[in-house]
Every structure is written in structure tokens, then in C-alpha cells.
Amino acid sequence: MMSWAKKLGRHSREEGTDSLTKEREVHNSHGLFVLYPIPEFHNHGSIPEADIVAVHGLNGTARKTWTDKETGKFWLEDFLPDAVPTARIMTFGYDSALAFSNSKAGIRNFATDLLNRIRVVRSSHEAKNRPLVFITHSLGGIVVKKVLALTILFYRRTLTNPGSHLSE
């Protein structure tokens, strides 16, 4: 199985952690990444039965949080596909260090970003109707709670005022 780092063109641990490598790691770790099935090798005849999204916590990353420090095993990619082979597995990365800084970015921004990215990857009729499971760590749980609150708010608004979502 092709590793997540290779798919994103990341440097290996042996290459060192110079500032360019760190910059690439930060840049490449923000967003929603499909880990399994690997999109380039996915059998388009099979439809996942569930979607799993892992959301890291404070000072974590889309990869580091879920990687064993001793073995380097990235369990979302190395073990979870064997346990749930019919699921699509994704990880979401965001700049969690900004959550408690003076930056205007915060929980709502991260939640909105995650929600929008999930809407894109779950846009088909089949995807919208399959289970969505979140695996979270610390601040990631708060981000997901905000995603759920925003989703409820959105649907309440569209039920009470059909068409209002078109102006947003």
C-alpha cells in the first residue's frame, strides 16, 4: 500500500527536519485526505459502506497524532483498513495551534472547513446516505461538535426558510 507521505510527496524522516521540510509538512497536513481506499488504485465498482474521518487535537497533525512514535506505524493507514475494509478512511488536518492564539481563525473556521470538505467528498447520493464516523482527539472532538451544531443549524434554517441556503 502506498504511504500517505508518498502520496503527498513528503520527505521521509531520514531526510531531516530542516525548515523547508517542516514548511512542506505543515502545508501538506491541512485539509481532508482520503487514506483508504487509495484514490489512484480504488476499484470504482466497489462502494464504501461507511466513511471514517479522523480529526486530530491541539498541536497535532493529520498524520502525527495517529502515528506510533516507536514503530512509525500510521494506524489509520496501517491497521484500520484491515479492521474495516469496506470503509473509506480519511484524516483532516488543520492548524490547531491557531485555536488559542490571537488569530481570527478558530474552532468555527476549522469546523466550517471540515464540513465543506466533507460535503464535497460525500456529494453523491450513495455517499450522503452511508454512515459517517468520526475519530477525534482532544480539540478535534470540539471541532466535530461544532460541525454537528453547524449542520443542525443549516438544516433548521432550510426547513423553516426553504431557499435561504442559496444566498449563503
* Lookup: cell for 159: 426547513
Phi, psi of 50 (to 5 degrees): -155, 160
pLDDT tens track for 72-90: 999 999 999 999 999 999 9
Whether the predicted pLDDT of 99 surpasses 80:
no
Q: What is the Cα–Cα distance from 93 to 110, expressed in whole angstroms?
A: 9
| 10-45 pLDDT, tens digit each | 333 333 434 433 444 444 689 999 999 987 666 666
Give the chain's mean pLDDT: 81
DSSP 163: T
Mean pLDDT on 85-110:
85
Residue 4 has a pLDDT of 41
Q: For the segment 54-69, what is each residue's pLDDT rounded down to a tens digit?
A: 999 999 999 999 999 9
Identify the pLDDT of residue 22.
41
- Listed residue (86, 144, 142) closest to 118, CA to CA: 144
